[in-house]
Amino acid sequence: ILAQAIFLESRVTTLAVHSRKCALRMGSSQSSCATHKPVISPCDLQMLFRILDKDNTGKLQGKEVETMFNAVLGFDTGSYEGDSAFDMEQVSDIIGDLHRRHPSWNVPSNVIKFINDNKDRADGADGGPMDDINMEKLFKILDNDGSGMLDNMEAYRFFAHIGVPARYLYLKSTEPMDAEAFTRIIREINVEHPEVDLEEKVVTFIQDSLANGKADFEEVENPEEEPPAPEQTGSGRKRALLIGINYVGSDHSLGGCINDVTSQGNVLRDHFDFEDMRTLTDDQDDESLVPTKTNIIESISWLVEGAEAGDQLFFQYSGHGSQTPNKSSDEADGMDECLCPADCLTNPWPEFVITDKELDAVLNDLPVGVRITMIFDCCHSGTMTDLAVSRDLGPPAGSFDEGHKSRFLEAPESVQPRVVACQTRDLDAPPRSREVVGENKDVWTISGCQDSQTSSDATIGGERRGALTWAFLSSLEDLNYSCTYDEVFALTKKKIRGKGFAQIPALSTTKEKNLTAQYLDGGH
């Protein structure tokens, strides 16, 4: 026990020392640690600043950051040297960097717990991101001349700056607005268009403006005309492969994976005109349709066989996800993300799992012009495909409910020594460069969580479901099955947050313009 205690204290010390190094590096640059996705949502981070940033500068002093980490870790991390001060993005990078290097410490979850435990220290904490305090801050930032009135063109430029269609504001008002009218309109747009994620964009803008000054807005046209309809691309063959594994009868059984792919298949058939579909589940008698590794690999070959430009392909996997040691060490954590076929429970790894490298090889072989959408409702799925452009979510302010079950499968004992070796290697050793799927391909991936996280298998509406699949299909329904990838992803985020799930979904694709493409060319 004493040896374990000494080891524990040494790990905390390592964590604290690296935190200080990362923070101090940030003090002299815009964040040398900012090479990964954020693991805390802007709304949660802003609440942290409202708790600690009492002088309302938009930055936390080193001492304030130290106070927070001491409380989160339950250990004195030591003092932050100098006069370093960190804005919201930099604090997010510190938290994310610590979490990626020491995932077992659950730093993001503990930070959120700290926020929830200390909300009473923040003024108006129960009002949410669009509360009176934030709306007053926003209006003061935008009201350049202090007249108490906001010019409509300046408001349009603000919307364009944060990536929200200015037409939404134009349809509400074409006249100058006082603070009350502006607040009412902003809140109405937030309710009417949840897919644009206005809350997070507003709080991010507020915090950045407080810390670094208001950004210069680019000129915009008066948004009188209807925007052009998103480009429709092709009308070729549609084919889908759906894989749901409940690991029936095993110690690792799940309850919602087969329901996920059944629901997804119904939506694809009824609203997107997919007819050529294959479903692999482990509850059927036909052995060729049981999701073993051999059958999954054969079915992936079936999915892409004969694909030509204009074809629309779809792939969903719901089941356990995991990580296995990566011999090439090109992953930042030394591990490959992997899918867990039904027969991997009793067979050796990595031979009986499917790694992200195997999936990337399939995608890179696709002919140019073939479009494929992939959904991974499993653990450690953030970069299940290595794509160049991404949208990601921060975790909601909530806890992991005891009624939820993780879709994580621990690697077998035979590979655990290599897992430990990956976890204890030099924290600052740079990973090898990684190849990503080519920009000339059209690939979209929606993942249930980040690489270091687990996805939930939960009871929702009386039925066992995957949290991602439930939120995603519900969002499609709310958007009448006609939306962009960005829009359905943003609404999925709100639904996951609303249920209190702690997982962070991700949307990735091969090029920036694909984020605003119509999901599956539009449904009905």
- Residue 229: CB atoms within 10 Å: 8
d(CA 142, CA 209): 10
The dihedrals phi and psi of 251, each to the nearest 5 degrees, come to -75, -10
Are residues 484 and 518 in contact, defined by beta-carbon separation less than 8 angstroms? yes
Work out the burial of residue 67: count CB atoms within 10 Å of its CB; fewer than 13 is exposed, 13-18 middle, 19 or more buried: middle
Catalytic: 379?
A: yes
List residues bridging with 408 in a β-sheet: 321
d(CA 504, CA 468): 10
List residues bridging with 484 in a β-sheet: 518
The dihedrals phi and psi of 341, each to the nearest 5 degrees, come to -60, 165
- Catalytic residue selected from 320, 338, 344, 378: 320
Question: What is each CA distance from 43 to 88, 250, 504, in whole angstroms?
Answer: 11, 40, 14
The dihedrals phi and psi of 463, each to the nearest 5 degrees, come to -130, 140
- Catalytic residue selected from 338, 378, 379, 449: 379
Pairing of strands 405-406, 85-86: unpaired
**Site of tokens 């943003």:** 490
Catalytic: 99?
A: no
Taking alpha carbons only, the member of 143, 136, 119, 141 closest to residue 46 is 119
Helix, strand, coil percent values for the chain (each to nearest 5): 45, 15, 40
The four Cα atoms 427, 502, 358, 521 give a dihedral, to 10 degrees, of -130
Pairing of strands 149-150, 177-178: antiparallel
Question: What is each CA distance from 403 to 409, 450, 457, in whole angstroms?
Answer: 18, 21, 9
d(CA 523, CA 68): 47
| SS3 state of residue 85 | strand
d(CA 33, CA 86): 13
Q: Catalytic residue numbers? A: 320, 379
